[in-house]
Amino acid sequence: MKNSVVVFQDEVHFMAQTTVTRAWAPVGSAPKIKSLPGRDKISFSGFVVPKTGQLFMDKPDRFNYETVIASIRSFLSAYEPGEGTRIFLIMDNAGWHKKAKRLIKENVDGKYDDINRFVTFVYMPPYSPDLNPIEQVWRKTRREATHNRYFKNKAELESKLDTYYAKFSAPNQELSSLCSFNYESQKAA
């Protein structure tokens, strides 16, 4: 299709507790790392457009079919697809995704006309999160923004993540190259 856009979606939790990776320590010793007690976390529902590198984030309280539908609507509002644009939304097979997709497809009483107008759902194979490029965004976030860092509270973590993700809301080459594969350049090699 001429006016088609591929978009990948996924959810993630970031814990306020300190996570340690790749730390230097003398042989035989265990480093003592300051960490926030408890299980405070920030939840995100993310949408990445590999062609442009744009990242759209929503912060639901929890993950269920209602928050999936609300996140899709939030994405459509922020992305503003033009008339005639078809978005191929690729999601994994989480239970809440399946129910949201089913309800949107059934579209009882035209409740989801706004979504069906632009979105076609594409199903990923079961148990294949490695096929979803947005997983690379979560890895990059952990490496650059959350691992090996102490956050005094949940609000500090949320502020750090909001600032980090803000730089990817506009088209950018960094996420575009991270989340896409250029088949044409591979043919020439």
Query: What is the block-wise mean pLDDT of the chain (189 residues), using blocks of 10 residues?
Result: 88 82 73 70 95 96 95 96 93 93 94 96 88 93 89 92 96 92 53
Q: What is the pLDDT of residue 79?
A: 95
- Within the chain, residue ranges assigned H as helices are 65-79, 95-106, 113-116, 134-141, 154-166, 173-179, 183-188
4-17+38-178: CATH topology is Nucleotidyltransferase; domain 5 (3.30.420)
Q: What is the pLDDT of residue 113?
A: 96
Q: What is the pLDDT of residue 17?
A: 75
Separation of alpha carbons 186 and 21, rounded Å: 33
For 132, the 3-state DSSP assignment is coil
Residue 101 contacts by C-beta under 8 Å, 6 or more apart in sequence? 91, 121
Q: What is the pLDDT of residue 140?
A: 95
Tokens 């059934």 belong to 106
Residue spans of the domains in the chain: they are 4-17+38-178
Task: Judge contact between 146 and 14, C-beta under 8 A.
Answer: yes
